[in-house]
Amino acid sequence: MGEDATPQVSSRATELAEAAMAGDRGALARLLTAVENRTPLAEAALRRLYPVAGKAHLVGITGPPGSGKSTLVAALIGVVRAAGRAVAVVAVDPSSPITGGALLGDRVRMQSYAGDQAVFIRSMASRGHAGGLASTTTTAAAVLDAAGFDLVLIETVGTGQSEVEVAAAADTTVVLEAPEMGDEVQAIKAGLLEVADLVVVNKGDKPGALRTAAQLRAMLVPTVARTPTDRPTPKRPEVMVTTASTGEGVPELLAALDRHRATGRAAESGGARRTRAEAQVWAILGERLRASLVAPERAGTTEAVLEDVAAHRLDPYAAADRLLRELTAG
């Protein structure tokens, strides 16, 4: 990707984009496959779709493994559909470091919604991306946004201490915790509570759930000392208790998401969306720089520089500068 699409690709991309916006789920699925594979078709389609995106509420759902993220997402879908609203899900599954494949289990868990045209579920492999999200997740969310979904749920891998990236991709970040697992300590270490807009103690039917919620509320109580003006104001997330397996507390969670959307949009100065845009552009720029450096005409030079670093004949900073000069000279 990166070069101008051929007229045939542009025509096909426009056709798919228009069909997806008109409600064709097959066209939408093909577009998301193109996005995940980073094809010229996806890039051409996004040029048509991106200007009409930006209306959906993007909700990131993250937390440690075993906290019940997929079960909660399935329960949320049920509540959203009961309210007559459409919902899309991007569920990121971990990839095998050996084969690159992924167990796309979310489609199995949410199979009961397969025939519902107002529900669209897409599992994506993380492909080694370390932040809990596939590198194309934000683009996929924009495509779903443009396709008319008012609510897009982004469920992360759940690898623990690398989940904070979801905050840059979402309007509202929900952090799940499970009772009596010590995960609140891990959440502090990972910085999860700093990015949370809502903290949900799931599996509320288990002993210790209310105690865990009380401990989290105590941790998150506003401090008396003023935050220095050169630092961001810490979030003070609401702490809720749900039991996703029975649906208890899930309608209240949807109401809290809607409240955060209303107040967040009203108070939004553009900073969050600017941060998201910055992350997207830098990610694409990084991919394109790398692609340029491993292209056939530069691959030999790049390989030689990497070999020099491996042999400690050249330090990594000087190597990066040399490769940048190679690009600018070209």
| pLDDT (tens digit per residue) in 56-93 | 999 999 888 778 888 999 999 999 999 999 999 998 87
Q: What is the mean pLDDT of the chain?
A: 81
User: Would the pLDDT of 135 be above 80?
Assistant: no
Strand partners, 238: 198
Q: Report how far residue 184's alpha carbon sits from residue 191's, in angstroms, rounded to the nearest whole number.
A: 10
Asked whether the beta carbons of 133 and 126 are under 8 A apart, the reply is yes
Q: Report how far residue 250's alpha carbon sits from residue 220's, in angstroms, rounded to the nearest whole number.
A: 22
Q: What percentage of the chain exceeds 70 in pLDDT?
A: 76
Which range is least confidently modeled, 34-43, 71-80, 125-134, 150-159?
125-134
Q: Report how far residue 1's alpha carbon sits from residue 42's, in angstroms, rounded to the nearest whole number.
A: 9
Q: Report how far residue 301's alpha carbon sits from residue 322's, in angstroms, rounded to the nearest whole number.
A: 10
| pLDDT (tens digit per residue) in 209-263 | 888 888 888 877 654 444 444 445 556 788 999 999 999 999 999 999 999 998 8
3-class state of residue 87 by DSSP? strand
Strand partners, 124: 92
Q: CATH code for 53-222+232-268?
A: 3.40.50.300
3-class state of residue 86 by DSSP? coil
User: Would the pLDDT of 95 be above 60?
Assistant: no
Q: Report how far residue 70's alpha carbon sits from residue 79's, in angstroms, rounded to the nearest whole number.
A: 14
Strand partners, 122: 90
User: Would the pLDDT of 30 be above 60?
Assistant: yes
Residue type, 123: S
Residue type, 109: R
Domain ranges of the chain: 1-51, 53-222+232-268, 294-329
With 0-12 CB in 10 A as exposed, 13-18 as middle and 19+ as buried, what is 285?
A: exposed
In this structure, how many other beta carbons lie within 10 angstroms of the beta carbon of residue 120?
A: 21
- Number of helical (H) and strand (E) elements in the chain, helices listed first: 14, 7
pTM, two decimal places: 0.82
Beta strands in the chain (DSSP E): 57-62, 87-93, 119-125, 151-155, 172-177, 198-201, 238-241
Q: In whole angstroms, how far apart are CA 302 and each of 284, 311, 317?
A: 20, 14, 14
Q: Where are the alpha helices (DSSP H) in 113-249?
A: 137-146, 166-169, 183-190, 192-195, 209-219
220: nearest Cα among 197, 204, 253, 250: 197
With tokens 């289990």, the residue in question is 105
Asked whether the beta carbons of 88 and 32 are under 8 A apart, the reply is no
258: nearest Cα among 59, 86, 3: 59
